[in-house]
């Protein structure tokens, strides 16, 4: 376990998510000075800090310590829109998160209904396009 590698992983994930040291402090209670020492490889995070960091960064403690990624959330980092969405979602209250999830479900259901209606219209639309007008 290399302190510098651990610090680099934490800093890299934090920056990729657009999370500031102040955000970490507000959400975890880890001071910005302590986080800076961790990110610079001067100290190792405590067990409590590791758990808090893994939750806010959306990764496993194992990933922070060893770089092994068994957490499926790490695959999200390949898409900037998803990363931004996840970062903003985490800033919301639980009530607001539930509301957003409801809106997402509504949007998905509306899209399904729209797709079903398109399929119903499709045969007649094809028949009209195949008709030759004199």
| DSSP letter (8 states) at residue 46 | P
What pLDDT tens digit does each residue of the chain (134 aa) get?
799 999 999 999 999 888 999 999 998 999 989 999 999 999 999 999 999 999 999 888 999 999 876 544 444 455 667 777 888 888 889 999 999 999 999 999 999 887 777 666 655 544 444 444 44
Q: What angle separates helix 32-39 from helix 21-28, to the nearest 10 degrees?
A: 120
pTM of the shown model:
0.55
Tokens representing 14? 């934090």
Q: Residues 48, 50, 56, 60: is their CA dihedral positive or negative?
A: negative
Residues 34 and 102: beta-carbon distance below 8 Å: no
| DSSP letter (8 states) at residue 85 | H
């Amino acid at each position: 376990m290399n302190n510098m590698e651990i610090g680099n992983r934490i800093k890299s994930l934090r920056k990729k998510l657009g999370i500031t040291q102040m955000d970490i402090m507000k959400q975890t209670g880890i001071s910005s000075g302590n986080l800076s020492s961790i990110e610079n490889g001067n100290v190792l995070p405590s067990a409590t800090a590791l758990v808090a960091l893994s939750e806010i960064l959306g990764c496993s403690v194992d990933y922070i310590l060893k770089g092994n990624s068994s957490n499926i959330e790490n695959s999200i980092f390949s898409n900037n829109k998803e990363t931004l969405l996840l970062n903003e979602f985490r800033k919301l209250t639980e009530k607001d998160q539930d509301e957003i999830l409801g809106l997402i479900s509504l949007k998905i259901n509306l899209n399904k209904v729209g797709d079903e209606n398109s399929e119903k219209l499709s045969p007649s639309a094809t028949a009209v396009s195949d008709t030759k007008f004199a």
